Amino acid sequence: MAATSTDTGDRPLHPVARELAASTGFLLARLGVAFRGTAVVAVDDAGFEIHDYPVLAILGEADRETQATIADAIGLDPSRLVALLDSLERRDLVVRARDPHDRRRHVVRITAAGRVELGRLRALAGRIEEAFFEPLADGERAALHELLVRLAERHDPRCCPLDDPDC
Amino acid sequence: MAATSTDTGDRPLHPVARELAASTGFLLARLGVAFRGTAVVAVDDAGFEIHDYPVLAILGEADRETQATIADAIGLDPSRLVALLDSLERRDLVVRARDPHDRRRHVVRITAAGRVELGRLRALAGRIEEAFFEPLADGERAALHELLVRLAERHDPRCCPLDDPDC
DNA sequence: TATTGTTATACTCTATAACTATA
DNA sequence: TATAGTTATAGAGTATAACAATA
C-alpha cells in the first residue's frame, strides 16, 4: 500500500513539483481533501454517515425545510438526498410530511432524537477541527478563517449566510 | 438545473447551516473543490487533461523519475498513472524507457515538446490562480499561503519539498 | 405544461486484485 | 519469493434521464 498522509516517520515520501507546492490553490485543494478524509474516517468510526451533520444542522437552524432547499445548500443532487433522508428517517432523526399547501412538496423536520444526535455530531466536528488545525495558534486560525470567508463570498456564497457576522 | 457556485445574481441560494459556515475545515474543503472545479474546466477548455501539469512539472524538475515515485507524489494509483503516461507519450510530451540497471523499471523523461507544453500549462495555472485569489490583496495571499504551508507540513508533507524556502 | 420527489440508468473515479517480466 | 508496471474488475460517487403525483 502507498504511504498515506497520516504516516509518521517512514520518510521516502516523493514530493510534488516545487512549482506546484508554491501554488496556493493547489495547497487549498490538497488540504481540502485531507480535511475531508480525516472527517470521513472519524465520522465513520463514530457510526455516522458523512452527510448526517450538514443535513441535521440545517434542519436544526431552520425547520420546515423542503428537500430541494436542503439539496441546494449542501451541494447534493436531489436524487441522492432521497436515500440520505431515508436513512435519517429510519433512525427517527428526521420526519418527512406532505406540505398541505403544495402536496408535491415534502417538508422535512428534525426530531428530538435528531437534536440529540446533532449535538453529538457537533462535538465530534469540534474535535476533528481542533485536531486538524492544531499546528496553528488561535490568532492564526482566526486569520485563516477570515481569509477563507473572503474567498467563499466570491466562489461559494452558500457558505456565507447573509446574516453571519463573519461575512 | 441547480444554481452553481459561479452564478451571479439570481439570488435564491440556500445557505448551509451557520454552524457549518463557521467551521474553517468545512470552508477549506468547499473552497478546495471550488478551486479544483474551476481548474478542471479551464484546463479542459485549453485542451489539456487535469493531471498533465502535475506530471510534467515533476518531470521538469527532476527527470529520470520512475512511475512509482510519480504516482506517490501526485497521490494517484500506479494503475491509473499508466493511462495518463500513455496519453502523454502519444502526444510526445514524455518518453518511457527501460532502466538498464533494473529492467522491470520504466524511467520517464520529459521531452523538448513536453517542456514547451509545460510552459503553457504553467502560464495557464498562473491565470487560474490569479482569478481565484483576486478577492485577496497580495499580502493576504502570502499570509494565506504561509498558513496553508504550515498545515501541509502536518497533513500532506508531499506538498512541502524539504528544500523549499516556504517550508 | 411545469414542478417535486422518486426511481432507474449511465458515467466517472477510485480501489483492488490478478498477470507479466524481471529481480 | 518479491517487485514494477500493466491489465481487468468491481465499487463508490456523481450526474442524467425518465416517471408519478400534483400544481
SS3 B106: strand
How far, in Å, is the CA of B85 from the C1' of nucleotide D9?
A: 21
Cell of B42: 479551464
Chain B residue numbers touching A19 (CB-CB < 8 A):
57, 61, 122
Q: Do A53 and B20 touch (CB under 8 A)?
A: yes
Give tens-digit pLDDT for A45-68. 898 889 999 999 999 998 789 999
Cell of A116: 440529540
Nucleotides of C under 7 A from a protein CB: 3-8, 14-17, 21-23
Cα–Cα distance for residue pair B17/A158, rounded to 1 Å:
9
Note the pLDDT of residue A5.
Answer: 38
For the B51-155 domain, the top CATH level (class) is: mainly alpha
Percent of chain B at pLDDT exceeding 70: 89
Percent of chain A at pLDDT exceeding 90: 78
Cell of A8: 509518521
Give the predicted TM-score (pTM) of the model: 0.91
Cell of A78: 436531489
Cα–Cα distance for residue pair B162/B167, rounded to 1 Å:
7
Chain A, 21 to 80: residues with Cβ < 8 Å from chain B are: 21-36, 38-39, 53-54, 57-58, 60-61, 69-75, 77-78
